[in-house]
Amino acid sequence: MAINRPPIVKIGAGRFSTVLRVDDPHRGESIAEKKIHTSTSGLGIQSLKGALRELFILRLLSHHPNIIDLFDHRFEGHCLVLQLRLYDMDLDSLMDRNPPLPQSLIKLICRDILNGLSFVHDAGIMHRDLKPGNILLDGDGRVVLCDFGLARASGEEKECIPPITREVATRWYQSPEILLGTEVQTSSCDIWAAACILCEMYRGQPLIAGQTDIQQLFLLYKRFGGSPLVVPRKDRPTDLLGDDLRYWPAATLLPDYGKIPFARDAVESEQSWSVRLAADIPRLPPTALPMLAGAFRYDPRLRYTHARQMLESEFFDNCQGSIATALADYLRDSEAKPPPPVEDPWEDSFDSECSFFHQPN
């Protein structure tokens, strides 16, 4: 007799995990199963600890409407299987449509991202891998954060926190201190990533898209007017929205501070970062700029440390309406487009700047 097995479709994969779409006969719907591969030797120890930590964090957080639902879990040999709610799309695929996202929908999505992140921060947890691919949506208007595989409790000892993965798509959302090799991470790294995602929704492509850590730092410095200021600049007018975002006395203590010394003077600009950002993203509302000033400070001690600080911004005043309706209207009136090559207005200048420098003898 033939055995009817529920159809299984692979929908994603990571370094230690595979995500499958499975038809669950008990629930009468498809769900996502995340299989985290573990063992008791080598890198498997790290993956086992990470798997158990992710399970604990999801059990703690998943009852919030903006955190992915954890239905159940089980062990299969050397795999921990997390049974999760299946969503229709991620934010990456939603942004990969024509025309661009309407401003009203952007604000609603961003509000729910920050509501979820605020709950994470309330629990004393850092997500540490916030990016469009880890934000899921469905036709009912639910917006949730997922993939807590790199999440950590704030204040964990530094030796317990392995380096963040260096896939290109993750690098684009990393804060300056991570790119410069910090061993002490705080929830302010999530704030930087959230601000990058907000700008990307308005811009239509990533805000800072380096292909290496060095290029990412160069483009970041170019975007915000230069490398970290370790002492105040008396000869420079103050920024339109407060102190220069680059002020960061402790930057010199980071392991990779000298990674790109050639950029120190080459990328400095006298024009305000906010003027350049507004020119590059014409659709960005002026009310977003004060919020971004708090989110894009180089020094993590001066940057916002809790998503609630962004939610309290004037940017979210009168943020009302149904995401389900706005999303349905947008999906009806838009179409998927082939992913374009990521371009950045300063990529060409990166190569030209490098041409002026050489390794010392």
Examine the domain organization and report whether 94 and 185 are in the same domain. yes
Q: What total number of domains does the chain contain?
A: 2
Examine the domain organization and report whether 332 and 216 are in the same domain. yes
Looking at the domain assignment, is residue 348 inside a domain? yes
What are the Cα distances from residue 133, in Å, to 146, 163, 244? 9, 20, 31
Q: What distance separates the 2 farthest-apart alpha carbons in the chain?
A: 84
- Domain end residue (candidates: 35, 60, 85): 85
Q: What's the pLDDT score for residue 282?
A: 96
Q: Angle 165-137-124 (CA atoms, 0-180°, nearest 5)?
A: 55
Examine the domain organization and report whether 80 and 132 are in the same domain. no
Examine the domain organization and report whether 151 and 232 are in the same domain. yes
Kindly list the catalytic residues: 129
Q: What's the pLDDT score for residue 298?
A: 95
CATH label of the domain that carries residue 48: 3.30.200.20
Examine the domain organization and report whether 73 and 175 are in the same domain. no
Read off the pLDDT band of 130 (50, 70, 90): very high
Read off the pLDDT band of 44 (50, 70, 90): low
Q: What's the pLDDT score for residue 157?
A: 46
Examine the domain organization and report whether 196 and 282 are in the same domain. yes
Residue 146, SS3 per DSSP: coil
Examine the domain organization and report whether 129 and 268 are in the same domain. yes
- Parent domain of 140: 89-354
Looking at the domain assignment, is residue 2 inside a domain? no
Examine the domain organization and report whether 21 and 170 are in the same domain. no
Examine the domain organization and report whether 133 and 14 are in the same domain. no
User: How much is the average pLDDT of 101-125?
Assistant: 98
Examine the domain organization and report whether 146 and 232 are in the same domain. yes
Q: Are 53 and 127 in contact (CB under 8 A)?
A: no
Examine the domain organization and report whether 296 and 155 are in the same domain. yes
Nearest to 30 by CA among 6, 53, 49: 6
**How many CB atoms lie under 10 A from the CB of residue 164?**
16
Q: What is the pLDDT of residues 136-188, one digit of tens each?
A: 999 999 999 999 989 999 866 454 555 555 555 589 999 999 999 998 899 99
Looking at the domain assignment, is residue 359 inside a domain? no
Nearest to 129 by CA among 75, 166, 100: 166
Judging by DSSP bridges, how do beta strands 125-126 and 135-137 pair with one another? unpaired
Q: What's the pLDDT score for residue 50?
A: 82
Looking at the domain assignment, is residue 361 inside a domain? no
